[in-house]
A = this chain, B = another copy of it.
Amino acid sequence: MKNSAYFAAALCISLVGSVGSAAADDKSDANKRLVMDAVKMLFIDHKVDQAVDTYFAPGYIQHNPLVPTGSEPMRGFFKGFYATNPGSTVEISHVVADGDLVAVHYRFKVKPDDRGMAVVDIFRVADGKIQEHWDVAEPVPEKSANTNGMF
């Protein structure tokens, strides 16, 4: 092998160790895009049927204690919620994607002048669909011990 081939091969070997984690990172990026598209369609555009049919697996495993498990109960929950609260909004603060999990941190408001709630959703993605969901929600308090806000 000539020097140029040796150099190229050695460079390759030094890069190969990174490829496994690069593949994992590519997966994280793809899952982040999928979840952001789903969140925009469901939470911001309120297109419940389109979002559920496009992005959520029928066997969707629900960990939010207010909603029965499965994608159909979720469809019913959001259709009912948006019918009653058409002005509800979501402002996304952070998105953290790692392998099959994507965490989304946002302020949820029922009405524009609410202080709203701080929420983190964690979605698990597999086979091009959102398969599972956990969340935590907390009302934004009137007063805070610091001036940094919750977002």
Q: Which residues of A contact B (CB under 8 A)?
A: 1-2, 4-5, 8-9, 11-12, 15-16, 18-19, 21-26, 28-29, 32, 61-69, 73, 93-98, 101-103, 105, 118-120, 122, 134, 136-138, 140-141, 143-151
Taking a contact as CB atoms closer than 8 A, the residue among B61, B65, B103, B145 that contacts A120 in the complex is: B103
Copies in the assembly, this chain = 2
Q: Which of B23, B63, B136 contacts A148 (CB 8 A)?
A: B63
A98-B150 contact, Cβ under 8 Å, with A4-B1, A66-B145, A136-B118 = no
With a cutoff of 8 Å between Cβ atoms, the chain B residues found around residue A120 in the complex are 103, 105, 120, 122, 136
**Chain A's interface: helix, strand, loop or mixed, by majority?**
mixed
